[in-house]
Structure 1
Amino acid sequence: MQANENSTHQTKDPVLLFFNRVIAQVSRVLAAIMVMVIIWGVVDVVYVLHQRLIAPPFMLLEIKDIMATFGAFMAVLIAIEIFHNIILYVEDNHNRQLAVEIVLGTALMAIARKVIVLDFNEVGAGHVYATATVALALSVGYYLIVIRAQGAKRRMSRSIIPSANG
């Protein structure tokens, strides 16, 4: 029987065990591809930054160049977070709570990237409102699932630990 202390899926079925092994291998392939994407992204950031620095005016960046660089950095950071999420699926004892936290954190980074590179002269008010709504929803979800849960864990650990005076 496949035993995974954090997983709710336990089976004796050989077909499902085979499928689980296939998924684990696919996850490993995705992790390897994501590492290549991350390396490619870093090389791209360095190349684009180099190209913009050697273009006239020499060694000066315009605000649009800085914003594009920030966007490229954020894209690499998002890829790294996605890699971490893939790794959770590869590990036998993946933690579903941690996976949700990473997905929410990654989504927050992605929407932050969108806000950073957003050109308000090129998008309409509806797009801005939709982006704000997504950012708010993700922030509330992150607060409820991650921040609030961490506070509850701290309160529980403080109530378990006896005080030094008592």
Structure 2
Amino acid sequence: MKEIQQDDKFLWLLRNVIHYCLKTLGLLMVLVIISGVVDVAWTIYQRLAAKPMFILTISDVLATFGAFMVVLIAIEIFQNIILYLRDDVIHVKIVISTALMAIARKVIILDYDTLEPMHIWATGIVLVATGITYYLIHKIPDEGQK
């Protein structure tokens, strides 16, 4: 009987350590998000201040989109951390949507002139597979809706 109580205390301790680690990750992610927003603002300022002023080239727009997407992905990861802290369960729908956003960012910023065709095909296959997974997960009803 005493051994069971010690196991329960040990598991309680482990859960608390993980809980505080998640809180620390959440705080660090907020700092990353703030830093990312500052970086996006700085990137836009630099691109607009460069000669010719107030003109953005296609590569400038793509670089800015990439910076935006990184911040949005960081926000999605932060949401994952918060949901895990609140519910103590991994929300697969949000994880898949975060992965889809990360892949979309990669597709936006890729330089297709320098890539091998196999790399482009592989990226496309990963994008389609993740999109199908996202679609299927959203077709499956939540446990709470049964």
Using the size of structure 2 for normalisation, the TM-score is 0.90
Correspondence for 1:73: 68
Correspondence for 2:114: 122
Gaps of 5+ in 2: 1-6
Q: How far 1:60 moved relative to its partner?
A: 0.3
Q: How far 1:36 moved relative to its partner?
A: 0.4
Q: Which amino acid in structure 1 is aligned with residue 117 of structure 2?
A: A
Number of residue pairs matched? 141
**What CA distance in whole angstroms lies between the structure 1 residues aligned with 2:60 and 2:141?**
38
**What CA distance in whole angstroms lies between the structure 2 residues aligned with 1:128 and 1:137?**
14
Correspondence for 1:5: none
**What CA distance in whole angstroms lies between the structure 2 residues aligned with 1:150 and 1:140?**
16
Render the CA deviation track for 1:107-132: whole Å, top value 9, x for unaligned: 00000000111110111111101100
Correspondence for 1:135: 127
**What CA distance in whole angstroms lies between the structure 1 residues aligned with 2:116 and 2:52?**
32
Q: Does 1:38 align with 2:33?
A: yes
Gaps of 5+ in 1: 1-11, 157-166
Q: How far 1:94 moved relative to its partner?
A: 3.7
Residue 99 of structure 2 aligns to a residue whose secondary structure is helix
Render the CA deviation track for 1:123-143: whole Å, top value 9, x for unaligned: 111110110011011111111
**What CA distance in whole angstroms lies between the structure 2 residues aligned with 1:112 and 1:43?**
22
Q: Which amino acid in structure 2 is aligned with residue 55 of structure 1?
A: A
**What CA distance in whole angstroms lies between the structure 2 residues aligned with 1:122 and 1:38?**
31
Q: Which amino acid in structure 1 is aligned with residue 122 of structure 2?
A: A
More helix by share: 2
Where in structure 1 do 4 or more consecutive aligned residues deviate above 4 Å? Answer: none
Correspondence for 1:102: 94
The percentage of counterpart residues that share the same residue type is: 49
Render the CA deviation track for 1:4-44: whole Å, top value 9, x for unaligned: xxxxxxxx611111000000000000000000000000000
Report if aligned partners of 1:24, 1:89 keep a CA contact under 8 Å in 2: no
Correspondence for 2:4: none
**What CA distance in whole angstroms lies between the structure 2 residues aligned with 1:40 and 1:125?**
35
Correspondence for 1:9: none
Using the size of structure 1 for normalisation, the TM-score is 0.79
